[in-house]
Amino acid sequence: MIKTMTVSELQKRVQESTKPFLLDVREPHELDICKLAFDEHIPLGDLPDDYEKLPKDAEIVVYCRSGARSLRACEFLEDHGYGNLTNLSGGVLAWANDIDPTMQKY
């Protein structure tokens, strides 16, 4: 089952010792505009070729610009045996709006 997490929840979780594994599925040019800290960057289109490098035993929080691509990535990963998946609701746009207003929006 795919869970959702708000950016406020993520902000708290990344401070914990058991922080989740963060997967950014945006395109490379989007990282030049703004980015969050992440453990792995795999654009959504590359996920079918590269998903096996992700840890199966970790909680994975997937994010993109708004939450749509990350939901598709979560669905793909769930179909390929990953179980502890969370979609970041609102993506980096929500992070910019609610957590870091200095972050550039696009």
The predicted structure's pLDDT at residue 11:
96
Per-residue pLDDT tens over the stretch 47-104: 999 999 999 999 999 999 999 999 999 999 999 999 999 999 999 999 999 999 999 9
- When pLDDT is cut at 50, 70 and 90, the band that residue 1 belongs to is confident
This prediction has a pTM of: 0.96
Tokens of 66: 């708004």
Q: How far is CA 17 from CA 34, 90, 96, 99, in A?
A: 25, 24, 24, 21
- Domains and their CATH numbers in the chain: 2-98 (3.40.250.10)
Active-site annotation, residues: 64
Per-residue pLDDT tens over the stretch 32-55: 999 998 999 999 999 999 999 999
Distance between CA atoms of 19 and 28, rounded to whole angstroms? 24
Q: For residue 78, which of 104, 100, 60 has the smallest C-alpha distance?
A: 60
